[in-house]
Structure 1
Amino acid sequence: MDVIVAAEQRQRAAEAILGELDLIGRWSAVGRPVVVGATSYGLMVAPDLDLEIFCDAEPTAEAGFAVLAACAAHPGTIRAAYSNHLDGADEGIYWKLGFRHQGEEWKVDMWALRHDHPGPLSSSLVEPMRAALTPESRRTILTIKQELAARPDRRCGSIHVYRAVLADGVATFDEFETWRADHDTESLTDWRP
């Protein structure tokens, strides 16, 4: 299947999951939810949905567990997890759902953060990515991400694929592998196009 068509199908599934779980509505009671990652700029390959939730005060486990409890009541939810990283480098609370949609298991990652989180933040990347993408760069990124998904031993964060293509002109998976050998793809980055 063409990578653009596959990404569009994945995008529609992500939007359906957002609606089925009412993630925007539920998290709005806790803070300001923002859809981030590949869903936010139409570069979906993996069944993975990401949100950042910006809270006026420090995020609390209690507020997030209320959201997770409501999501867990949905028959598609097959697992839920929580990790407190308020005292760590991420400075937030991480929530994860396993959700079955049309026979496929999705991972839903959600970070509750303070509204003044120092970053780096995925939400800071959304508008610059949307502005930088062209039909050609979108196809190149999706093709490289699809190659990475087929090779579990070669995975890395998608932001590094975006940076390689948009900042350094990488055009193929082999070029990406060469680029990757000379760049840090393990650390958090605040890169933006």
Structure 2
Amino acid sequence: MKLLERAQKRKETAMLILEELKLLEKWNTIGQAYVVGATAYDLLVDHDIDIETFCTHPNAAEAMAILADLTSNPKVLELKYRNYLKTPFNGIYFKIQYEQMPSEIWNIDMWLFSETREGPLSRDLVSLMSDSLTNESRKYILTNKEELLKKSIVLPSIYVYEAVLDYDIQCTEEFLNWMEQQDVDIQTNWRPSK
């Protein structure tokens, strides 16, 4: 199966999981939810789904209440949260581990933010990425992400996107050399320049 086909199959699985768990429906009861990251960009390599939700006043108890019934789903292995309101992330993080099949565990990362939150937001990247990506750039990004996964190298995918879209980096070796110059300890405000 080719790169783009594999990514499309993963996206289809991700959307089925979201539908089964009714996650967007749940989050939309307390704010405005967005599927973001690789799922939104059709660049899924790992079993990972990202959601950002924006509301008036982020409240962990309210969010856990809408997610609580997921604990009765035998495919939901883990449900947890962490309060990052007093950090630069300025939000509340939730995570679900979902067992699609015995050898396939999906991580669902969900952030709850205030509508007035400032700083980098994945929600704001979705349309910019859609406008910037071509089939060729998608192939380079997917190749790099697959190679990194095979090598068990964990880096934020946004750097792969930046390297390919802004610096025309095509192979993993070039990417890793470029990464040596990047500071991954700070939140990036990167946006595609094309």
TM over 0.5: yes
How many angstroms apart in 2 are the aligned matches of 1:65 and 1:15?
A: 22
Measured after TM superposition, the shift of residue 2 of structure 1 is: 2.1
Q: Whole-Å Cα distance in 2 between the matches of residues 12 and 93 of structure 1?
A: 27
Q: CA deviation at 1:73?
A: 2.2
Aligned to 2:58: 59
Aligned ranges for residues 1-193 of structure 1 at < 5 Å?
1-56=1-56, 58-103=57-102, 104-152=104-152, 154-193=153-192
AA aligned opposite 1:61: A
* One-letter amino acid matched to 2:114: R
RMSD: 1.1
1:120–1:189 contact (8 Å) kept in structure 2: yes
Deviation at 1:14, TM superposition (A): 0.3
The CA deviation at 1:118 is 0.4
Scaled by the length of structure 2, the TM-score of the pair is 0.95
Q: Name structure 1 gaps, 5 residues minimum.
A: none
Q: Percent identity?
A: 39
Quote the offset at 1:184 in angstroms: 2.3
Q: Where does structure 2 lack aligned partners over 5 or more consecutive residues?
A: none
CA contact (8 A) 1:48 1:107 kept: yes
Q: Provide Cα deviations, 1:98-154, integer angstroms capped at 9, x if missing partner.
A: 0011331100000000011102111111110010000000000000000111122x3
Distance (Å, rounded) in 1 between the aligned partners of 2:46 and 2:185: 19
Across the two proteins, how many residue pairs are aligned to each other?
Answer: 191
SS in 2 for 1:155: coil
Aligned equivalents of 2:71 and 2:6: distance in 1? 28
Residues 156, 186 of structure 1: 8 Å contact kept: no
Say if 1:27 and 1:67, in contact at 8 Å, map to a contact too: yes
Give the alignment's TM-score, normalised by structure 1.
0.95
Question: 2:26·2:67 contact (CA, 8 Å) conserved in 1?
Answer: no
CA contact (8 A) 1:91 1:113 kept: yes
Cα distance in 2, alignment partners of residues 182 and 87 from structure 1: 29
CA distance in 1 between counterparts of 2:55 and 2:110 reads 13
How many angstroms does 1:180 deviate by? 1.1
> How many Å separate the matches in 2 of 1:181 and 1:21?
39
Q: Distance in 1 between matches of 2:117 and 2:190?
A: 17
Q: Deviations over 1:4-54 (max 9, x none)?
A: 121111101100011000011111111100000000010000000000000
Distance 1:9 1:186 in 2: 32
